[in-house]
Every structure is written in C-alpha cells, then in structure tokens.
Amino acid sequence: MRILVTGAAGFIGSHLCKRLLTTPSNEVIGVDTFIGPTTHELKQKNILNLLPHSRFRLIETDLLKADLNLLLQDVDVIYHLAGMPGVRASWGNDFDPYVTNNILVTQRLLEAAKNKPLKKFIYASTSSVYGEKNGKVSEDAYLSPLSPYGITKLSGEHLCQVYYKSYQIPLVMVRFFTVYGPRQRPDMAFHRFIAQILQEKPVTIFGDGTQSRDFTYISDCIDGIEPLAYADHVIGETFNVGGKERATVNDVISLIEKITAMKAKIHYFEKISGEPLHTWADISKATKLLNYNPKVTLKEGLIKEVNYIRSVYNL
C-alpha cells in the first residue's frame, strides 16, 4: 500500500510514519514544508531515523504550490496531518497562515484527490472544533469553536464533507485531544512546563491551573489512527482520539515535580482567549469500530517526555 502523510516531519506525523513502516507491504511518502512552531532543526531530528528507510521517501514541498496530481499518483491512502497548529497564535495579524495552511491547502488537496482511486482520505482535526462542553463529548456534539484556529480546522472538516458528498472521496475524520509525548511541539504546554522546570525557569500557566484536559499519549494516538488505513466500514465516519486519563494543569505540574525531583516556580497569567476550560473525549465509537483502547497512564507518558526533553536540551 502506498501511503502519503502530509506533515510527516511533525510530532504526530513522524510517529505515524514510523508505525506505518512496520507493515512490510507499506510504502510511505512523507511531505513537509518545515513551517510552524517547531524549528527546522527539531523537525529534522523527528525524521532522522526515517530517512534511511528503503520504503520511506521525504518530499520537502509547499502543498499550496506542489504538483499534487503528480504527488498523488498511485497513492492508496492519504493522512492529511499538515496544518498550522496552536490556539494562542491564531488571533490578530497571525491569522493568515492559518487560513492558508488549514483551509486553502486542504481544499487544494481535496481537489486533486477527487478523481483519484483512493482507498482512504484521512483528515486530522482537533477537539478545538467542539468549543466549551460539559462532560464527555461525542462526535455528534454541536460544534462551536472558541478560536480562529478552531474555525479553520472546522472549515477543513466542512470542505472534506462537501467533497465526500459530491465526489465520494473516501473520507475519514479524526479529532485529536491534547496529544503529548516525545517530539511534542515546543509551544505545547507539557514541553514548555518540563523544559522550564528542568532549566529552573519560571513556569508560565495561563489561567489558574484548574483547567483540565483529556491527555493522549502519542503511541495511543497512533494506535487510534493507524488502523484507519485498513479498516472496513469507516468511510464517512468521524472519530474522537482521546487518552487514558484527564487531569488539571496544576495536577500535571505536581506530577512533573515528582518525576524530576525539582520544584516549579509557577507564574500565573491571565487566561488566553479561545481555550476551553475542560475537554473530555467520548471514545466509545473508536473503541467499538477500531478496538481503540488507550494504554499509557499520564505518569508513564510524562516520564517518557521528561527523558525526551532532557535529551533535546542536554539537561
């Protein structure tokens, strides 16, 4: 099977490529334009072990300008993970890259895919499309994003649905809930918290720290999305990909303190606009149709990410 992964040098993309290559019959084409919050150097490290692989090929290109007909030639499955991430940076003058990379690129890829004999077009969305909800949220919940970022990802979802209905593109959509672990982006909370604590710098928390998240360890996330390439009866479906346990930000800081045996110097700042107070994924649909069962506890995942951050910063 020939599989195209956009955003292949990113956090989730690099882990997905590695997993897909464990199937001997898979050939993986990774595409990345090396933009976003993660530095070029870190993205290169993300894919360092992939580059020598005989069944992996990296294409560094901008999907807005690339010859997509050529890129999609003989491709069986597309994982469209590429995009501009992050809630905080999507406000004001920084909105343009979100429109370009989350909406225009998605439309262009769908347009190129509509006449191809694809088996799957898997679109990576986010829990940010739900907005503020109480309790567990299922895939059929009303969608009301709180941020410009969430708006652009929801726009991508709507585009996918239009092409699915009009051109029968074999669409599957996934909504990620706060994925963490080794290779996590430097702007994401766990990466920042761990690096700040290890470097004995003030830990910046936006809000009072009582906000809670459904944290998903990266290997669990990949367990949720890898089977989509092969699964029957998933076309047209949307799946939540959430984690094993929820916690508040203050709980996470306490866990990191215990793991590192270091005390955090916490500085609380005003809450950022666009971020919900709580997220909680109902993953029963993924459990039923994909046999999805998150395994990694928050403590186990944080230990692995602490070790990763130590290696990245030589701490």
Q: Could you give the residue numbers annotated as active site?
A: 149
Residue carrying structure tokens 């940010």: 128
Give the Cα separation of 225 and 172 in Å (integer). Answer: 10
Q: How far apart are CA 164 and CA 118, in angstroms?
A: 12
Within its chain, how far is the Cα of 15 from the centroid? Answer: 11
Give CA–CA dist 166/200, Å, rounded. 55
Tell me if residue 137 falls in helix, strand or coil. strand
Quick one: three-class SS letters along 230-271? Answer: CCCCCCCCEEEECCCEEEEHHHHHHHHHHHHCCCCEEEEECC
User: At 38, which amino acid appears?
Assistant: T
Could you tell me the two tokens for 124? Answer: 């990576």
Query: What's the one-letter identity of residue 200?
Result: E
Tokens encoding 35? 């933009």
If one counts every other C-beta atom within 10 angstroms of the C-beta of residue 172, the result is: 22
